[in-house]
């Protein structure tokens, strides 16, 4: 019988489960199976939007910058992550993303600088206008 090793290190020997469907005292069906949940492999792209408790990830064949981030960020905790390999491109940031991040950071700095010139009353008025607009 299969032995399943749990995340906490315990091992469980899976035993066969049997049950029957009866009708009017007669056995209509008898079922015998090993109750295991199937595991599967998916691509990084298919994993987008998922949240996983555990994952074994191999990024050796990653071919797009950012692919590693997508894969690694699917797993809830470091304890649930097994990284089997990666290549240079898996952990790269797409140059367009890096450029746009720079633009956003500059805009944020401009807003912070502008806010520093305002009085508390001006900030309160701006906040009220924004809330009303929303």
Quick: pLDDT tens for 43-75.
Answer: 888 888 899 998 999 999 999 998 999 999 999
pLDDT at 6: 84
Nearest to residue 54, comparing CAs of 7, 94, 13? 7
pLDDT at 41: 86
Q: What is the pLDDT of residues 72-114, one digit of tens each?
A: 999 999 999 999 999 999 989 989 999 999 999 999 999 999 8
Here the tokens at position 109 are 């700095």
How many helical (H) and strand (E) elements, i.e. helices and strands, does the chain have? Answer: 4, 6
Helix (H, G, I), strand (E, B) or coil at 20: strand
Helix (H, G, I), strand (E, B) or coil at 74: coil
Report whether pLDDT(7) > 80.
Answer: no
Which CA distances in Å does 37 have to 12, 14, 21, 76, 77?
14, 11, 22, 20, 22
pLDDT at 121: 93
> What pTM was computed for the model?
0.54
Q: Count of CB atoms within 10 A of residue 54's CB?
A: 13
pLDDT at 37: 80
8 A C-beta contact, residue 59 and residue 71: yes
pLDDT at 57: 95
Report whether pLDDT(39) > 80.
Answer: no
Give Cα 90 to chain centroid, integer Å: 16
Report whether pLDDT(14) > 80.
Answer: yes
Residue 87 to residue 10: CA distance in whole angstroms? 33
């Amino acid at each position: 019988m299969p032995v399943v090793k749990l995340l906490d290190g315990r091992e469980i020997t899976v035993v066969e489960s049997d049950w029957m469907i009866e009708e009017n005292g007669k056995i209509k069906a008898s079922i015998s199976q090993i109750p295991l949940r199937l595991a599967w492999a998916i691509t990084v792209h298919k994993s987008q939007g998922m949240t996983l408790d555990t994952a074994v990830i191999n990024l050796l064949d990653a071919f797009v910058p950012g692919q590693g981030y997508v894969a690694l960020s699917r797993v809830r905790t470091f304890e649930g992550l097994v990284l089997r390999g990666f290549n240079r491109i898996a952990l790269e940031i797409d140059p367009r993303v890096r450029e746009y991040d720079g633009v956003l950071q500059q805009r944020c700095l401009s807003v912070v600088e502008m806010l520093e010139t305002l009085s508390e009353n001006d900030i309160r008025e701006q906040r009220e206008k924004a809330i009303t607009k929303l």
